[in-house]
Structure formats: structure tokens, C-alpha cells
Amino acid sequence: MNKIKTLIFILLALQALSCTKDNLEIHKDDNFYRYYWGEKNGFKVWIIDGALIREKMFNEFLYGGNEERYPFVPEGEIWIYNSISAKEFNTTLEHEINERNLMAKYGMTYFDAHDSSLMLELYLRTNYKRICIEHEEGLLPVQPVDFDSTQEIESLPGKIKLKDIYRVPYGERDGIKIWIVDGFNVRRDIYPDFGFSGNGFAYKFIPENEIWIDGDISCEETEYSVMLEMKERDFMEQGIYYDDAYIKALYITDSLKKLNRELVMKNINNKPKILYRDTGTAKEKIK
């Protein structure tokens, strides 16, 4: 009996060994790309399937990556893990660009470049906090109701001051400011039915020239939510009722998703012999 148990243990161990990251083959359908975000500082920014990378390529991949640290990231690209939240996207992106440049220009070790990028993140987070506090302090009191004046928390007064809602200034599109907000606090303190996102025409507690994105949604969903809110807001500004504006905006967002899938399918992933570097290449060494 002991010999049989030993044999079974050996067979299971061999089976497990054959499935390590060094022995896994990448199937032609294993595409890591999920969403093309756009360009930043000359780099193409892709949101990628982090779980698939950890399974098929490198099981220590976290948050994001760049070509200097990970040779499997194509040159000129920055990869962001699709599971990170919307509120972590900006800091992760800036981290990866800074880390990549320090390794490529100065031949810095990954560990030093990583630590430097963490300090950059700390600066950004502190600055975001200051910007958000100043923004809230400058806003006038708002009504805690939606487009048809429904107030879900009856104990609230007719107007309230926004506090501890804003988290990250995400950007601006066509004059509309986009903010990453604390969705939990919005649902607790203002409006329980606040979903992934909202705009100033659908919710009267959102300033009219703003779009709010719940900071806890995945970064992969962020741009779709931004598109939905931009279009819904445009339709409502034209006088279209919320329900119809929402459906029309959904159709447009669905079209964006289809176009994105077509773009993603054009990419092919290959597994290099070297999966990571501890020291930068200094290929852009400054003379």
C-alpha cells in the first residue's frame, strides 16, 4: 500500500511540474489584450488580461508592466492589469512609464526604478487628495436627488455639501470634467442607487459639467463608462428623457466594444526566453 501511495505522489508531482510557467505553451487564441486605452508620453497603453498572463506567461505579474522589466511587453507599450480599480489606473500608468524610462535611459536596476516610481505614486496620491479637497470646498450645496427629483434618503435636507466624495481627477473630454469618486460614500451618504457612473443631467448632486466614475470598478470598464455618460449627457441636454437617452447611449457603447474587440484580435502574443530583467538595458542612455 505504501508503494502505491508513493507512486501516486510521484505521478501527481510530475503532472504539476509539467504545468509550471516555463512549460506552458501559449495557444494562438490566448490573447492578452483587452482594451486599447490610447497613448501617453509616446507609449501605447493597453489594458490586458492579467489573470491570463499570470497563468500563461509570468505568475508574478502585478498591476502593470513595461518592456524594460518584462521583455514579453512589446517595445513602446505599457500594460495595465485589467483587474485594478479605476482609482488606481493613473498612478499605475505613471509608475510604469517612470520605471521604464529610468531603466532604459540610466540602466537603473528594476528595484531602484520601482522604488523611485513608488515615490512618484506617493506624490501623485497626495496631490490628488489636495485637488479633491479644494474642489469640494469650492462647490455650492447640491440637491441629493436624480433627474426626476427622487430623493432616496429621506432624512437628508433639501441641499447638502459634498464631502469625501472625490478621489482622482481623471481628465476632461469636450469641456466635461471626469472624476473618479468614492461610490461607496455616494451610495451611503447621498443616493443608494448610484451605479458605476453618473453625469450632471441624470443626477442633480453631480455638478452639471462633470461625470463621476465609481473608483471601485475595473480600469477595463472605465472608458466604456465614460463613453456611456458622455453620450447619455449629450442626449439629455438635447431634451431626450433619461430612459431613452440611456438606451441610445448603451447602443453606442456596445458599438465601441465591438470595435475594440476587432482591434484586440489583430495582436499576437509570443513568449520570449527571458521573462524579466533586474537591470535596465540603458538603450536610450543619455550622453
pLDDT band at 227 (very low <50, low <70, confident <90, very high): very high
**Which residue's entry shows cell 511587453?**
73
168 phi and psi, to 5 degrees? -145, 130
* Strand partners of residue 173: 176
Average pLDDT over residues 159-185: 97
Looking at residue 287, what is its pLDDT? 66
Report residue 12's pLDDT band, with 50, 70 and 90 as the boundaries: very low
Q: Output the pLDDT for position 31.
A: 87
pLDDT of 264: 85
- Let me know: does 176 contact 211? Beta carbons within 8 Å: yes
**Whole-number pLDDT of residue 79:** 97
- Is residue 151 predicted with pLDDT exceeding 60? yes
Taking the C-alpha atoms of residue 20 and residue 194, their distance in angstroms, rounded to an integer, is: 43
pLDDT, residue 97, reads 98
pLDDT single digits (tens) 109-145:
999 999 999 999 999 999 999 999 999 999 999 999 9
- pLDDT category at 285 given cuts 50, 70, 90 is confident
Among the ranges given (30-39, 230-239, 271-280), the one the predictor scored with the smallest mean pLDDT: 271-280
The better pLDDT of the pair 186, 60 is held by: 186
* pLDDT tens, residue by residue, 228-275: 999 999 999 999 999 999 999 999 999 999 988 888 887 767 777 888
- Beta strands at 77-81 and 43-48: parallel, antiparallel or unpaired: parallel
* Of residues 183, 187, 142, 141, the one with CA closest to residue 166: 183
Choose among 123, 128, 129, 81: nearest CA to 98: 123
**CB-side exposure of 144: number of CA atoms within 13 Å?**
22
Q: Quote the longest CA-to-CA distance of the chain.
A: 79
